[in-house]
Structure 1
Amino acid sequence: MNKIELTIPRLGESVTEVTLSKWNVKVGDVVALDETIAEVSTDKVDSEVPSTHSGIIKELKFEEGDIIPVGEVFAILEFAEDPKTETSAEDVSLQSSEIIPEDKISKPSKFLSPLVKKIIKEENLAVDEILKIDGSGHNGRISKNDVLNYIKNPSQQKIEEVKVVSTSSSTGNSEIIEMDKMRQLISKHMKKSKQTSPHVTAYVEPDVTNLVKWREANKKAFEAKYNQKLTYTPIIVDCVVRAIKDFPMINVSVDETETKIIKHHDINIGIATALPNNNLIVPVIKSANTLNLEGLAKGVNSIVDKARNNKLSPDDISGGTFTISNVGTFGNLMGTPIINQPEVAILATGVIKKKPAVLESEYGDLVVVRQFMYLSLSFDHRVIDGSLGGVFLKRISDYMENWDINQSI
């Protein structure tokens, strides 16, 4: 008999350890090549760890909830034959199909892992419909995320994603809702940030009339030329990057001893993105200081699309040095955002609204209609004093107010 050690694969350049969220197999199970062995989490991204070979699970070395270093052996697999000779996924799936009886799922043309079969059974899904999904896994394998994305399709019946337990109290009916894994991680991350950094928030209200006019006049031509939609986000990112270049001590973090400041030369901008399940994730545009408006638009559109389609990798959400949160998306005027550790500042952008404004002219003061938005900057008072935070925020405002309405795309 041959044995092989299964190790935690590298999930991104900055990922050094993972949390074992769930075992999808038990000792004695027969598994196929690329079948999911376990689910792991890295801060905000959940990932599946597939088997690199087919065989029988002989040992599971960790418990759910354990933290495992990347590269560590987490399971032992045994082969009946030479490890280089792989049992077909379809053959092994018939041996290991314990979750759904064969009379309910006939021999599939695509391999369905036990986890996928479990989801199909629990959600009472039609197997024939699931088999039509274009799988994103190896050789078109249908993964857990493929099925979950299928469930979220508006054309299908909405499936509840949380466990709800009805209970009674003296004040009437209520519900107890279990936090999903991502919500638990967000909760811990936000609590840790407030405990780590003394937050201060400053506000400005720039006149963005020229910026709005320029975008309206150029968005169709921009999309035609670059095949990218031009939202306000890349324009705001451009202004933020220019302001960070002027005040590089905003682009820093504090080391674990809280005695040293780490100055980052790359400006990596995180874009806080709301997911369909109401959770929040912050994918990152790397080296934004090297990108023009076209590159920023492409970067923004790409990471937001990946976030909303559950396609982010651990690298996509790591390495941020400054974050932008667009609370205007929800119709909010302003916000007091919580710093995304280990960064030291975060910008919230409010909704753009028309307001009366007083402008000076050669004929005296005039009341005109202009476009305004609030910007709010939360910063870490350990390393950013009020003066630096204030002038930095005002510089972002200046770049937005003085947007060149005549610039070409």
Structure 2
Amino acid sequence: TPTTPSFSSSSNIKVEASTGDGRFYSPVVKGLAEKHGISYAELSQIPGTGQAGRVTKQDFLNYLDGGAGSDSTNVAPASAAPSFQAPPAAQPPARQESRPPAPQVENIPGEEWAANGTKIVPMDNMRRLIAEHMVRSKHTSPHVYSVQEVDCSRISAWRAKHKNEFKKREGMSLSFTPFFLEAAIRALLQFPLVNSSVDGNTIVMKRAINLGCAVALGNSGLIVPVIKSAEEKNFVGLCRSLNDLALRARAKKLLPDEVTGGTFTVTNPGIFGTMIGTPIINQPQVAILCLGQIKKRPVVVDDMIAIREVCYLTLSYDHRIIDGSLGGQYLAFIREYLENWDLDRPLY
């Protein structure tokens, strides 16, 4: 039986998010129930006039006005700290509609929307740090953006040829991201200024390529684990490192050394359907590469219309030391590298 989410106040009154028959209670209703000491069992008996029979705020207030809450067998005083035992065999919630449920917004129990339609929600520590870092980057680096289109048909064909063998031997799926990581590394070796930082009036060139790979953590923000000395790894080595860091990032098991020391970052919002992004540079680096969604599109090839798997790459770079010509050359190198991928190249 799935566990039903609950919240508790200082009085230890527990009000569940939904009943065993699938009824849903808004944060406003749950807050009112806690405030007035209405138990879970009693709340489930209030008739609802909202969508799909949901209990609205007015339904709850009408229930209180009608004398509800005076029966001590149904409503426990706040100091009694009652608890609710879930039924032993609750039925799965009834399907209300075919479209996906609306995203849940985390609310502070007992608080309602203000009269002007706003609510103050404090940032958690990670979101606050991300915000400070992004603002500092914009104040530090004059951002410039270059975009190039890449035909991914050859890497897609090579991936299709080897993905089953890769999955069998490595125990994980072969994604497109490592192809772009390898191309980005080769381009950094060709254009080392992109793999540097600025210190006052000097440029600090970096010999090692410590490749940061942004990992989304859902509502918890994002984190950028770093593949150290990425230029020393082959294709499969990059796949293994990327998968390992991503899994441990989501499990919150990264070591401090694995999220510091990056010299260049790659972010991939394309997995969420993003076509083109303009990411903010991860200081003190001077550039970040953004991968757009790979999608079949009509393109012109030798004066003929053809369907190809295409994506857009964006390079955000610090205009203090990187000009548009260098940014364009860096992206062009990646494009040529991927569009000329050797189809006979062995996986291992």
Matched, 1:406 2:348: no
Matched, 1:340 2:278: no
Q: Secondary structure at the match of 1:320?
A: coil
Question: Which of the pair is proportionally richer in helix?
Answer: 2
Q: Secondary structure at the match of 1:166?
A: coil
Q: Secondary structure at the match of 2:329?
A: helix
Deviations 1:144-182 (A, max 9, x none): xxxxxxxxxxxxxx9986647423233xx3322110000
Matched, 1:315 2:257: yes
1:49 corresponding residue in structure 2 = none
Q: Secondary structure at the match of 1:174?
A: coil
Deviations 1:210-249 (A, max 9, x none): 1111111211111223344321111110010011111111
2:219 corresponding residue in structure 1 = 277
1:294 corresponding residue in structure 2 = 236
Q: Secondary structure at the match of 2:158?
A: helix
- The one-letter code matched in structure 2 to 1:367 is I
Q: Separation in 2 of the partners of 1:312 and 1:163?
A: 30
2:124 corresponding residue in structure 1 = 180
Q: RMSD of the TM alignment (CA)?
A: 2.1
Q: Separation in 2 of the partners of 1:359 and 1:185?
A: 47
1:189 corresponding residue in structure 2 = 133
Q: Separation in 1 of the partners of 2:234 and 2:157?
A: 20
Q: Separation in 2 of the partners of 1:300 and 1:161?
A: 31
2:91 corresponding residue in structure 1 = none
- The one-letter code matched in structure 2 to 1:304 is A
Q: What displacement does 1:277 show?
A: 2.3
Aligned ranges for residues 365-384 of structure 1 at < 5 Å? 365-384=303-322
Matched, 1:331 2:273: yes
Aligned ranges for residues 200-211 of structure 1 at < 5 Å? 200-211=144-155
Q: Secondary structure at the match of 1:224?
A: helix
The structure whose Rg is larger is: 2
1:234 corresponding residue in structure 2 = 178
2:115 corresponding residue in structure 1 = 169
Q: Secondary structure at the match of 1:302?
A: helix
Q: What displacement does 1:310 show?
A: 1.1
1:391 corresponding residue in structure 2 = 329
Q: Separation in 1 of the partners of 2:297 and 2:220?
A: 31
Q: Separation in 1 of the partners of 2:107 and 2:239?
A: 34
2:51 corresponding residue in structure 1 = none
Q: Separation in 2 of the partners of 1:271 and 1:321?
A: 11
Q: Separation in 2 of the partners of 1:342 and 1:251?
A: 11
Report the more deviating stretch, 240-249 or 272-281: 272-281
Inter-CA distance 322–162: structure 2 relative to 1 (3 Å threshold): farther
1:132 corresponding residue in structure 2 = none
- The one-letter code matched in structure 2 to 1:286 is K
Aligned ranges for residues 150-161 of structure 1 at < 5 Å? none
2:203 corresponding residue in structure 1 = 261
Inter-CA distance 161–169: structure 2 relative to 1 (3 Å threshold): closer
Q: Secondary structure at the match of 1:262?
A: strand
Q: Secondary structure at the match of 1:306?
A: helix
Q: Separation in 2 of the partners of 1:162 and 1:279?
A: 17
Unaligned runs of 5+ in 1: 1-123, 127-157
- The one-letter code matched in structure 2 to 1:251 is N
Give the length in aligned residue pairs: 247
Unaligned runs of 5+ in 2: 1-82, 86-102
Please give the TM-score of this superposition, normalised by the length of structure 2.
0.67
2:25 corresponding residue in structure 1 = none
Matched, 1:199 2:140: no
1:243 corresponding residue in structure 2 = 187
Q: Contact 1:163 / 1:178 at 8 angstroms: preserved in 2?
A: no
Deviations 1:47-84 (A, max 9, x none): xxxxxxxxxxxxxxxxxxxxxxxxxxxxxxxxxxxxxx
Q: What displacement does 1:203 show?
A: 0.2
Q: Secondary structure at the match of 1:189?
A: helix
